[in-house]
Amino acid sequence: MIGEAFWENPDEEKTLVQESKQEELVQEQSQPLLNELEHHSNEESSSSEEPMNPALRAVSGVVTLVVFSLILWNSLGHAFLLETESTDYANEAMSWPITSVHIDSEIEVWSEEVSCGDESTCYEDFFTANLVLNCVLLDDGNYVCGPEVENGTHIQTYLACKPNHSIFAIGGNQYSINGPMPNPCSSAYDLYEYEGNNFPRQYFDERYDDPWEVYDTECRWQSEPNDEPYWNCYFDNGEYDTWWYHCEFAANESLWFCIDAFGPEASSEDNRNASERPEGSTQDILSELSDDVLEVRYDPSDPTRVYIGDPEAAPSNSMAFVLGFIILGVVVFIGVIRVVSMAAKQSNKAE
């Protein structure tokens, strides 16, 4: 061991050399595996960038075309056909006879907010109407209808114009309609003006700020000792309406006239026989009932087909609707051609 440094160890140096060679061998063996993994990764990334299958592209194009066509149909096509049908129906109704509806007809009119474009809000009138005609069938197979018809049959027709809250309620399809009239919404104004035989009704007295409220049903005085001193009045269906300090009864016409103008100190059960209402008020109410009639046109061969309003005032097809319908057809036709040609090209490339 003479001449060798004491810290040098040949065995340890040999061991280090062997371990270094083993690491180099492991790296050489693992390199092909890494290259193969990298190759597979590149293949997967390139395959993910391949174009969509031709069949899927065709299906996607068809779905897009269908959705776009539905939107155009609701905004243009549906409105055009509805106006066309409404015009034809109005032209037919011009030759129909006119009559007034029976007092048993039930009509409800109300207003709701609707979208009118530019993110603004408008109010539209809507209604439901169960119209009753008193008719008799003649020997020739046609009907004659009117309040004066004796031994007639009550024929009912249901009309409705309601808001359409569906997701496709755009353009000319904002309303949900029912009945034989293609566009009953055009009759909302005529029905709004008609009060029919509905009670309570208001009678205006120039002596007071508030009008008299007139009931054709019962008004009852509070009979319990602990109750407030006022009258309770009810609707035709028997439901409670409201209370009044003063109510007097017109016995011959079976009408109640109620008002609060005299204050609580004048409230009494004896008001029933009072005569504070204006002279002739009951006759005015009865005259309003007879004058307030709703006239409709009806088809003599089928009285369920009615027309409300003036058919001559019905709108005719405008060029805007005609052009819109033509544009709708052209757009759909072009869309079909593009989808078919796209599918054909993709099929040729696949081959």
User: Distances in Å between the alpha carbon of 232 and those of 227, 248, 275?
Assistant: 11, 12, 19
Residue count of the chain: 351
Bridge partner residues of 128 (DSSP): 108, 160
Residue 87 gets the label, from left (phi > 0), alpha (psi -120 to 50) or beta, of alpha
Residue-level pLDDT at 78: 52
Residue-level pLDDT at 1: 45
Residue, of 193 and 196, whose pLDDT is higher: 193
- Is the pLDDT at 159 greater than 70, yes or no? yes
Query: Per-residue pLDDT tens for 205-223?
Result: 999 999 999 999 999 998 6
End-to-end CA, the chain:
83
Query: Per-residue pLDDT tens for 63-83?
Result: 666 666 655 555 555 555 667
- Is the pLDDT at 289 greater than 90, yes or no? no
CA triple 168-169-172, angle to 5 deg: 115
- Spatial separation of the C-alpha atoms in residues 222 and 234, rounded to whole Å: 13
- Cβ neighbors of 102 (< 8 A, separation 6 or more) are 132, 133, 134, 147, 154
**Position of tokens 């104004």?**
189
Q: Which amino acid is at 230?
A: Y
